[in-house]
With several copies, the nearest count.
Chain A
Amino acid sequence: MLVEILYNEEILLHYYKMGLLWSLPSTIEAGQFLMFRVSDGIDPFLRRPFGIYRTISIERGSKKLGGVEILYKVVGKGTGLMAGLRQGHKVDVLGPLGVGFSGFDGDGKLIMVAGGVGIVPFYLLAEGLANKDSRVQLLFGGRCKDDLPGLLDFENLGTEIKISTDNGELGVRGAVTELLKKEVSDDSTVYACGPKGMLKEVARIARERGVPCFVSLDKIMACGMGACLGCAVKVNGRKSRYTAQNLSPYKMVCKDGPVFDAEEIVWKEL
């Protein structure tokens, strides 16, 4: 699907927000993603997955049009090219894809743990819960204060936020998982997105405390729709012999995820 770039701005060093003129169904789940074709040609070759940060709406003439905002970090060739794209340019996107966060039923406290660009799936969620009377808390960790993209957006929503930075520039010094240890209580549900090491530790803490935990995983993807079987992640409790229910020891991050129940993941093989 070809959609127009509405804006593409650097919000922090290496972090960008891109607006796309693209109306998505309102049923979109926090944690779903799109597959972005970064080049018209074949270099780089594969599409790149990006979470949907939020939906936006713009006016064009008398019309009100729907849009999508993504928030991305420049880490390599593909994101580097994305950063150079300009307003008005058309880009090829597929989505929304995958299964988002859904384990929190409104009871107790929802703790969202984000590491750096792992903040992305949480905006839609925080927005959806902002005017409900659920208890929602964002624990946001970064290397430094410039590694906390979108922070202002959450402040504007009125989300309760606790921050940690590796260098102590903002919030407490240390890992965001240290915050989690303090904040987690027996009625918590934990959602997490961020680097692998962080997710592992979050899952460990949640297991230790016996609270539900859901994580959004990052795997290299080719198709994004469960066809290539490339983005496999090993899951527990599945026999190596498939049954008629078609169980396999692997699930696909693109189709069965990217959000999984932390208990399901075989963490040592991730």
Chain B
Amino acid sequence: MHKVNNNISQPDLTVNVAGIKLKNPVMTASGTFGYGEEYEPYLDLNRLGGIIVKGISMEPREGNSPPRIVETAAGMLNSIGLQNVGVEVFVDQKLPFLRKYDTAVIVNFFGDSIEEYCEVANILGAVDGIAGLEMNISCPNKQEGWLEFGTRPDLTFKVTNAVRKKTDLPLIVKLSPNVTDISTIAKAAEDGGADGLSLINTITGMAVNIENRRPMLANIIGGLSGPAIKPVALRMVWQVAGKVSLPLIGVGGIMTAEDAIEFIIAGASAIQIGTANFLDPSVSIKVLSGVEDYLIKNRVKRIDSLIGSLET
């Protein structure tokens, strides 16, 4: 596996996450990279470890009324409202483009009931060219008074367990950070049969327009992303790494290779780049080569040995 070129040994960047073999740990995060095609002019998608597509539901979704985004200090709030083309259009029109690349395609999906989650997972399980599923549980549950699945261990367990039975694809559960105790939720997902965990989704936040005294977002509340939330994401990865034995995927505020390495050291087997794509569409490739440089400089032969190497 280790290629040796003239004394300089290229580090081995491959990681195995939730049964998905990635050629490197750098992926793009759901909702920030469209269906891949939008970014195709800006980078070689083949170089990415994986692409996680915009969250897909059974039926197409309109999303929220605009305004949907607002800038904040070192970040942004979004209330896109999970607008998406629906699973049918995704499979017919979006997936064929992605299949052309030798990059793991992970499909982020959600529903507003356990049944919908199961249905989507079931459909996607029968389709070619999907390496794995990422289940977004930061989604209101219509059967439980629109409480988010991911804010309660019991609901997290239930939805994970139900979906687990519907698909053989690797199942990654994406956790919500808006909780008191992330480890308990992580444990519930593990018990429910998840193969891996992504953390974190956006942190709920708000902004006010002081000129008209109205919320900046039509939806009032939105999700905070970007460097602002990196310390929180990192803390959650580290907390969960100590409590579950599943592979973790770190996401939240990663802008540079240094950020990515922090997550890996804290316990992430792979990372996702979200909001940073908006600032620099080819940032993921830069992060990847920065990680490679770090490994070379520090004589780390296999990135595996960096994962969770934090000395406390």
Contact = CB atoms under 8 A, between A and B. Distances in A.
Interface of A: 37, 42-47, 92, 94, 219-234, 240-242, 244, 246, 248-250, 255, 269
A221 B226 CA distance: 15
A248 B65 CA distance: 12
13 contacts: A45-B72, A92-B280, A223-B32, A223-B277, A223-B281, A224-B278, A225-B281, A228-B69, A228-B278, A242-B59, A246-B89, A250-B62, A269-B65
B278 A223 contact: yes
Nearest to B39: A227
Interface of B: 31-34, 38-39, 42, 54, 59-60, 62-63, 65-76, 78, 80, 83, 85-86, 88-89, 92-93, 226-227, 255, 275, 277-281
B110 to A, nearest CB: 15
Contacts of B93: 246
Nearest to A255: B38
Contacts of B89: 242, 244, 246
Interface of A is mostly: loop
7 tightest A-B CB contacts, nearest first:
A242-B60, A227-B34, A230-B69, A227-B38, A223-B278, A222-B278, A232-B66
Nearest to B89: A246
B38 A226 contact: yes
A232 B83 contact: yes
Contacts of A269: 65-66
Given A223-B278, A246-B89, A250-B62, A228 B71 contact: no
A229 B33 CA distance: 10
Contacts of A230: 68-69, 78, 80
A242 B66 contact: no
Given A45-B74, A94-B281, A227-B33, A246 B69 contact: no
Contacts of A232: 63, 66, 68, 83
Contacts of A242: 59-60, 85-86, 89
Given A45-B76, A46-B278, A242-B86, A220 B226 contact: no
Given A47-B278, A220-B67, A248-B60, 13 more contacts: A44-B71, A45-B279, A46-B71, A219-B66, A219-B67, A220-B71, A221-B69, A223-B32, A227-B278, A228-B78, A229-B80, A231-B69, A250-B62
A14 to B, nearest CB: 19
Contacts of B33: 227
Contacts of A229: 31, 54, 63, 68, 80, 83
Given A227-B34, A246-B85, A241 B59 contact: yes
Nearest to B83: A229
Contacts of B62: 240, 248-250
